[in-house]
Amino acid sequence: MKPALQDRSRLSLAVLALLLGAGLSLQARAQSGAGVKALAELSLEDLMRVEVVSAGREAERLADVAAPVFVITRDDIARTGVRSLPEILRLAPGVDVARLSAGRWAVGVRGDTGRFSNKLQVLVDGRSIYSPLFSGVLWETHQVPLGEIERIEIIRGPAGAVWGANAVNGVINIITRPADGGGRAARLEAVDDGSLRLDLRAGQRLDDDAGGWRAHAQVERQGASEALEGGEAHDATRAATAGLRLERRIDARTRLDLQAQIEQSRVEDTRLRQIVRPPYREAVPTHQDYDRATLSGTLEHRLHGGSSLKLTGLLMADQGSEAGFVQMRSRTADLELEQSWRPEGAGHQLTWGGGLRHHRDHNESLGDGSFTPAQREMNDWRLFAQDRWTSENGRLVAVGGLRVDHTFFGGTRTQPSLALSWRPTDENLTLWSSVSRAVRVPSRGESDANVAVAVIPPGQAGNPLPVRVLASHVSGLVVESVHALQLGARRRWDEQLALDAVLFRHDYDPLSFNPVGLGTPELSMLPQPHLDAALRRVPGRARITGLELSLDWHPLPSLRQQFSGAWSRGEEFPAAAGDSTRLRELLPSRLLSWRTSIDLTPYLGLDVWVRHTAARGSASTGTRVDARTVLDLSTRWAVSRDVTLSLRAWNLGAAKAVEIHPDLGYSRAVISSPGVGLRAEMIF
């Protein structure tokens, strides 16, 4: 079947299934069932009262937070029918999500979107999952089953005073469901490209009602994508994960929370290897294997006088390889102590603490470079403090924070912040502003890796031999820094309309490196005579300004409309003349999302989601990606009390195209095509 006919058949199947679901739901009225969760239960007042913990480590109402926070609920995940964690992040303003391959994603907040984005701190239950290898997140190696997520809290803008180094452009905190029982459940999902996923969950309350346990397991297979140049891309994915959570109330003042998880993934890919003979680079099929085991725990104890202590610990072991290119393994231990105190009658809530982190790794490059040294042991420490002051009438809130991080490659760095929020006579209006500073410290890869990124053929620029260009630490290391100013307003009108608006300005100085030429070449005889030259780079400066809006409208109890939009502009100010990246072209100037959720019947819900991403450039290939507007449709049908069926069609209404080009060193861009998926959920 031709691709065009395949796309039309997929679309026809999706529309037919949606109409069939609407007709079958009429029969479901006569069945005994809980139905889908009514939109009326999600009132705007309830949403504004949702307590978030990511902005200041302590629970506070969303309506009162002096930061651009967006919350994605468990109901949002279920209704949209998304297949992966990065997809649901598109609901939040300012979050740029692009599909790199079947299992790989590029996620950025206010810019810096790529597979190796390094200015975004990602947390699971407050625990950082970034990789010290490049200070970012490999999304394909982290499996958080969507059914296990309670909510996702997204903070745009710097949060270094709270979450430390690398929380430069934002923080994503994935909060999993508590161990509150929940019985047994299974979820099976099938997609028209051959992808399959099976998710099993079980839980139970303890007999004395002093806690409970919850376990989950998931296996999945993602089918290969279509390559830009035609044919099937070498990017199929297999992954599996299992986890256990145990919560126990030891006494009236003490609670223990333990979590254990194992993860395994295998991702097919194609690497672009630099060679010193014609054609001077070659596409090599490869695969990435990654295994991880994590054990974490939290012990909380409430003291007298409004004070509490929290001790958290983490042990993690992981190992991975990319066939023919790199092998890596690491061990991590982390311990943190935090105290919170609210003096009676003082209007202050004080939070302070500190932590230690030990990381040991061993990395060996098998292809285009080397790690020197191959093994490192790194010890980091941190201290943090925050004071949240509330006036007597509760209308004015000031939050001041300071964090000191000592890292192996970045030394000792301070990250301060100050935020003010004010509610005038109108209780439904909050005005706020903040100033902050955050840093990104160099990573292990930046410091110790010596990687070939290109080969210049002989005869160019007068060189008699091939010149292998190496990206290495010889240019020095830089601790990136951002100063940010944000102004925001949050307004609610009755129970029907809520608006959140943010103006921001980020000044980066210094910002990474700009290439300005090559260093002195050195002769190398193996594998054949060639010259090695290090890439000369200098720190740069940049500025990003923008506006972010989110609108939540409930015109009817059975109808909800959500809009999010982000408009931004990037400017770069190189420290020296050279071939610098044009930030304005790399950063999409618009990210728009419009979602409509409808309860067609008490048993049938429909989601219509339109997304628009403006054009973007590519730092690695210089290729432009055109603007893209797509439509997703999702229906969720409660067949009975224990069975729910979901059908989703995505990427409708747009030509098949690349969402983002791969990072330097990866040769195959894949296209995003329309797709259809069916999901069945059963509770036992």
- Give me the mean pLDDT over the 119-141 stretch: 89
Measured CA to CA, the distance from residue 144 to residue 149 in angstroms comes to 7
- Which pLDDT score, from 0 to 100, does residue 296 have? 97
CB distance 361 to 405 below 8 Å: no
- Which pLDDT score, from 0 to 100, does residue 26 have? 39
CB distance 560 to 62 below 8 Å: no
- Max avg pLDDT among 49-53, 345-349, 420-424: 420-424
> Each residue of 448-480: pLDDT tens digit?
888 888 898 998 767 789 999 888 766 667 899
- Residue with the larger pLDDT of the pair 93 and 20: 93
- pLDDT band at 330, cuts 50/70/90? very high
- Give me the mean pLDDT over the 89-97 stretch: 94
Measured CA to CA, the distance from residue 432 to residue 491 in angstroms comes to 12
- Give me the mean pLDDT over the 601-625 stretch: 87
Average pLDDT, the chain: 87
* 488 pLDDT above the threshold of 90: yes
Measured CA to CA, the distance from residue 289 to residue 491 in angstroms comes to 48
- Give me the mean pLDDT over the 397-412 stretch: 95
Taking the mean position of all CA atoms in its chain, how far away is CA 621?
Answer: 24
> Each residue of 249-261: pLDDT tens digit?
999 899 999 999 9
3-46+177-683: what fold?
A: Maltoporin; Chain A (2.40.170)
- pLDDT band at 39, cuts 50/70/90? low
- pLDDT band at 190, cuts 50/70/90? very high
Taking the mean position of all CA atoms in its chain, how far away is CA 653?
Answer: 26
- Give me the mean pLDDT over the 78-85 stretch: 92
The first and second tokens of residue 166, run together, are: 């690398």
- pLDDT band at 48, cuts 50/70/90? low
Q: Which pairing describes strands 281-302 and 369-371: parallel, antiparallel, or unpaired?
A: unpaired
* 119 pLDDT above the threshold of 80: yes
Determine whether 186 is exposed, middle or buried from the number of CB atoms within 10 Å of its CB (0-12, 13-18, 19+). middle
* 42 pLDDT above the threshold of 60: no
- Which pLDDT score, from 0 to 100, does residue 427 have? 79
Determine whether 302 is exposed, middle or buried from the number of CB atoms within 10 Å of its CB (0-12, 13-18, 19+). middle
Share of the chain above pLDDT 70, in %: 88
> Of 573-577, 597-601, 666-670, where does mean pLDDT reach its minimum?
573-577
- Give me the mean pLDDT over the 517-544 stretch: 86
- Which pLDDT score, from 0 to 100, does residue 181 have? 66
- pLDDT band at 490, cuts 50/70/90? very high
Measured CA to CA, the distance from residue 351 to residue 341 in angstroms comes to 6
> Each residue of 576-602: pLDDT tens digit?
444 445 677 788 999 999 999 999 998
* 27 pLDDT above the threshold of 60: no
The first and second tokens of residue 247, run together, are: 């919560």
- From the CB of residue 422, how many other CB atoms can be counted at a distance below 10 Å? 15
* 6 pLDDT above the threshold of 80: no
One-letter amino acid for residue 239 of the chain: A
- pLDDT band at 314, cuts 50/70/90? very high
- Which pLDDT score, from 0 to 100, does residue 4 have? 44
- Which pLDDT score, from 0 to 100, does residue 572 have? 84
- Which pLDDT score, from 0 to 100, does residue 578 have? 45
Place of tokens 């970045």: 410
- Which pLDDT score, from 0 to 100, does residue 14 have? 45
Q: How far apart are the first and last CA of the chain?
A: 41
> Each residue of 629-658: pLDDT tens digit?
999 999 999 999 899 999 999 999 888 889
- Residue with the larger pLDDT of the pair 89 and 132: 89
- Residue with the larger pLDDT of the pair 498 and 537: 498
One-letter amino acid for residue 161 of the chain: A
Collect all residues with Cβ–Cβ distance below 8 Å to 386 and sequence separation of at least 6: 56, 57, 161, 162, 350, 351, 352, 399, 400, 401, 402
Cα-based distances in Å from 595 to 550, 564, 614 = 11, 9, 18
Taking the mean position of all CA atoms in its chain, how far away is CA 184?
Answer: 29
Q: H or E element: which one contains 75?
A: helix 74-80
> Each residue of 406-436: pLDDT tens digit?
999 999 999 999 999 999 887 789 999 999 9
- Which pLDDT score, from 0 to 100, does residue 347 have? 87
